[in-house]
Amino acid sequence: MLKIVVCVSGGGTNLQAILDGIDTGRVTNTEVLAVVSNNAGARALQRAKEHGIPGICISPKDYESRDAFNQGFTDELCRLAPDLVVLAGFLVKIPDQAVAAFSNRIVNIHPSLIPSFCGVGYYGLKVHEKVLERGVKVTGATVHFVNEGMDEGPIIAQKAVMVEDEDTPEILQKRVMEQAEWILLPKAIDDIANGRISMVDDKVRRKAGTE
Ligand code: GRF
């Protein structure tokens, strides 16, 4: 059984997709140990509670320095001891010591086709604003392992989504969630839980015959 901790900052629709995936059997061999948020008011914490999953708030605001938060956050993850940490709309940069402690065991969902529209400053609605500003016709979402960089770790899965002429950032965000994020992230967790992917030379490889 793959034990996961899901880190969230806001609405938690990606968290919901994971919980629904487990409930309906699309995600197997997986148990959510806890949901961690930097935001006590996150709807995602409410979703965890409704599911009987412990919700934990760890905010940089509650620590006297960023270093202290980084250590506190890492200590909490180590205490929970998950097999996998899932960043599902978590707007806090993961401390290097947490990346080291959970090497290739932290995954993130990003709402664009990395390496486009990612890195510092590209989060939430801003990603979709930039996509529309640039006028690209195809965007999408990416699930990747987390390393010390920003949106730079090995890519696990990507899914393309068409951009339409009349899109607003909000409309595009919704389409990317519905057509890509809510499918990709639960599937990546299921693939990891069932040993269908592995790392070869710093790249993610899918076991033959497991598409
Ligand atoms: C998602 O678009 C995710 O990719 C991005 O932030 C959003 C979070 O949405 N990083 P939600 O909290 O899962 O509803």
pLDDT single digits (tens) 64-77: 999 999 999 999 99
User: What span, in angstroms and rounded, lies between the C-alpha atoms of 138 and 159?
Assistant: 10
Residues of the chain with pLDDT under 50: none
Quick check: CB of 109 below 6 Å from ligand 1? yes
Query: What's this model's pTM, rounded to 2 decimal places?
Result: 0.96
Residue 35's pLDDT is: 98
Q: Is 51 a catalytic residue?
A: no
Residue 4's pLDDT is: 98
Residue 33's pLDDT is: 98
Sole residue written with tokens 């609605």 = 125
Residue 211's pLDDT is: 75
Residue 201's pLDDT is: 81
Quick check: CB of 89 below 6 Å from ligand 1? yes
Residue 189's pLDDT is: 98
Residue 209's pLDDT is: 81
Nearest atom (ligand 1) to Cα of 141: 4
User: What span, in angstroms and rounded, lies between the C-alpha atoms of 44 and 151?
Assistant: 22
Q: What are residue 138's DSSP bridge partners?
A: 162
Residue 108's pLDDT is: 97
Residue 53's pLDDT is: 97
Residue 31's pLDDT is: 98
Residue 202's pLDDT is: 86
Nearest to 84 by CA among 182, 180, 18: 18
Q: Which residues of 130-153 are buried (b: 16+ CB within 10 A; e: fewer)?
A: bbeeeeeeebbbbbbbbbeebbeb
Nearest atom (ligand 1) to Cα of 42: 12
Quick check: CB of 169 below 6 Å from ligand 1? no
Peptide bond into 95 cis (omega under 30): no
Quick check: CB of 72 below 6 Å from ligand 1? no
- Output the CA 142–ligand 1 centroid distance in Å: 12
Nearest to 92 by CA among 8, 177, 189: 8
Quick check: CB of 88 below 6 Å from ligand 1? yes
Quick check: CB of 12 below 6 Å from ligand 1? yes
Residue 38's pLDDT is: 96
> 51, 110, 128, 144: which is the annotated catalytic residue?
110
Mutate to test the pocket of ligand 1, among 14, 131, 143, 174 (most ligand atoms within 8 A of CB): 14
Residue 210's pLDDT is: 81
- Output the CA 148–ligand 1 centroid distance in Å: 20
Nearest CA to ligand 1 atom 8: 89
Nearest CA to ligand 1 atom 1: 89
User: What span, in angstroms and rounded, lies between the C-alpha atoms of 95 and 82?
Assistant: 17
